[in-house]
């Protein structure tokens, strides 16, 4: 499918070049969009503040200005830090984000690589970021960073399992691991025999959607699961010793990952790039698709950040209890019921 982009024949190296450029531009842009729209503007409005006003129209360039500021900062590496690991950690975190973008479909032909095991790949590479976090925590030679890194490691065990189990429900219903096939399955589906609207899996997999949203909150280390970076406890956790460009990497990684996970949620549960009424085989779907996906991502991201600004923080052991006692049994029950119904119906 991806050999054809708008029916233009391209050589393999040309395709690769375009894909790399798109990814390199896309990832910082998405992080900026989420940062400005939600972290700066929506958060301010929810907290009865004005938010940034001065930089650019309505303060929209504030985050770009902050990014430039980070580039000017001195690059400090602590004396006793493990220098190689310390430098490598932000790259590992950002690499996991980049790899997640590989399988995100934005249209019938707009996908960097349509892997047959797409969602499995996404789950696998996204947990790679925890390795980077552990590296950062350990190599900083800072007690707070170490605690934050280890908390992140412990958190991984708690949320990764419900996350994958929640995805399993969708995979069973779609009958495929490929992201494109999951979108097609939702486009082809029918609600009570009426096929015009398709069948977004959020309707049948509402439990899985709930579990997925809770789990990505923990994956992104956002409140109520932000123990690894809790400011009032471990003072920023694993990135406490990072300055300037390296800190910017962590920041970009956090928000680009938020965007990627919102995109995965939109694809799995809200139908991805597909819009009712537009023929998914037409060239128009390649133009409308990205816009539809963006709108759906923003809806999901709004939910993510809404939780972030509302809830206080769990304790690490409470998260473990919550995950093992409630989320995982719920996800297993969801898989069982979905499996039975798919076989019976």
Partner 1 sequence: MTVTDSQKMAYVAAQAADARVNLQFETEDGMTLNMGPQHPATHGTLRIVAQLDGEQVVRCEPIPGYMHRGYEKLCEVRTYPQVTTLINRIDWLGSFANEVPFILAAEKLMDVEAPPRAQVIRTILFELSRLGNISLFLGDLGIQLGGITIGFYAFRDREFVLNQIEAATGGRFHPNFDRIGGLKDDLPKGWIAETHRAMDRMRRLCDEFEELVLGNEIFQARTRGIGVIPADIATSYGMSGANLRATGVDWDLRRDACPPGLSYDLADWKVWTHPDGDSYARTWVRLQEVRESTHIVDQLLDSIPAGPIMAKVPRIIKVPEGEAWVATENPLGEMGYYVVSKGDLVPFRVKIRSASFNNISVVPWVTRGVFVPDVITIMASLYFILGDIDR
Quick count: other Cβ atoms within 10 Å of Cβ 314? 18
Tell me which residue of 75, 36, 74, 32 sits closest to 58, measured CA to CA. 36
Could you say whether residue 303 binds partner 1 (CB under 8 A)? Answer: no
Residue with tokens 């499918």: 1
The DSSP line for 235-292 is: TTGGGTT--HHHHHHHHHHHHHHHHHHHHHHHHHHS-TT--TTS-TTSTHHHHHHHHH
Cβ-based nearer residue to partner 1, 35 or 105:
35
Could you say whether residue 153 binds partner 1 (CB under 8 A)? Answer: no
Could you say whether residue 223 binds partner 1 (CB under 8 A)? Answer: yes
Q: Would you say 94 and 133 are in contact if contact means Cβ atoms under 8 Å apart?
A: no
Q: Would you say 98 and 20 are in contact if contact means Cβ atoms under 8 Å apart?
A: no
Could you say whether residue 233 binds partner 1 (CB under 8 A)? Answer: yes
- Show contacts with partner 1 in window 31-60 (CB under 8 A): 46-49
- Show contacts with partner 1 in window 317-336 (CB under 8 A): 317-318
Could you say whether residue 313 binds partner 1 (CB under 8 A)? Answer: yes
Could you say whether residue 188 binds partner 1 (CB under 8 A)? Answer: no
Please report which helix (H) or strand (E) contains residue 8, including its range.
strand 8-9
Could you say whether residue 311 binds partner 1 (CB under 8 A)? Answer: yes
Only segment of 61-69, 186-194, 223-231, 250-258 that touches partner 1 (CB under 8 A): 223-231
Quick count: other Cβ atoms within 10 Å of Cβ 1? 12
In the chain, the N- to C-terminal Cα span, in Å, equals 31
Could you say whether residue 131 binds partner 1 (CB under 8 A)? Answer: no
Only segment of 76-84, 110-118, 129-137, 218-226 that touches partner 1 (CB under 8 A): 218-226
Cβ-based nearer residue to partner 1, 109 or 226:
226
- Show contacts with partner 1 in window 63-82 (CB under 8 A): none
Of 80, 315, 333, 337, the residue at the interface with partner 1 (CB under 8 A) is: 315
**φ and ψ of 104, to 5 deg:** -85, 115
Of 316, 323, 335, 338, the residue at the interface with partner 1 (CB under 8 A) is: 316
Q: Which residues bind partner 1 (CB under 8 A)?
A: 46-49, 143-144, 147, 223-224, 226-227, 230-235, 309-318
């Amino acid at each position: 499918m991806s050999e054809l982009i708008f029916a233009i024949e391209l050589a393999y190296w040309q395709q690769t070049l375009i894909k790399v450029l798109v990814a390199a531009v896309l990832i910082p842009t998405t992080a900026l969009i989420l940062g400005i729209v939600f972290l700066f503007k929506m958060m301010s409005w929810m907290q009865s503040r004005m938010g940034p006003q001065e930089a650019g129209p309505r303060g929209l360039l504030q985050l770009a200005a902050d990014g430039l500021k980070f580039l000017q900062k001195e690059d400090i590496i602590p004396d006793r830090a493990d220098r190689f690991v310390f430098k490598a950690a932000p790259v590992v975190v950002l690499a996991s984000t980049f790899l997640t973008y590989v399988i995100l479909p934005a249209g019938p032909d707009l996908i960097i690589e349509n892997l047959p095991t797409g969602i499995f790949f996404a789950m696998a590479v996204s947990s790679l970021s925890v390795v980077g976090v552990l590296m950062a925590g350990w190599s900083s030679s800072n007690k707070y960073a170490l605690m934050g890194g280890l908390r992140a490691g412990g958190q991984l065990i708690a949320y990764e399992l419900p996350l994958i189990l929640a995805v399993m429900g969708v995979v069973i219903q779609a009958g495929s691991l490929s992201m494109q096939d999951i979108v097609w399955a939702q486009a082809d589906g029918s609600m009570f025999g009426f096929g015009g609207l398709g069948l977004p899996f959020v309707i049948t997999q509402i439990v899985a959607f709930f579990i997925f949203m809770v789990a990505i909150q923990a994956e992104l280390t956002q409140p109520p699961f932000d123990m690894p970076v809790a400011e009032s406890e471990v003072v920023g956790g694993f990135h406490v010793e990072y300055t300037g460009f390296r800190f910017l990497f962590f920041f970009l990684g956090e928000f680009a990952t938020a965007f990627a996970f919102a995109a995965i949620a939109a694809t799995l549960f809200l139908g991805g790039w597909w819009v009712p009424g537009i023929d998914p085989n037409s060239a128009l779907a390649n133009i409308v698709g990205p816009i539809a996906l963006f709108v759906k991502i923003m809806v999901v991201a709004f939910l993510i950040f809404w939780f972030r600004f509302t809830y206080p923080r769990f304790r690490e052991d409470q998260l473990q209890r919550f995950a093992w006692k409630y989320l995982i049994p719920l996800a297993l029950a969801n898989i069982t019921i979905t499996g039975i119904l798919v076989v019976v119906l």
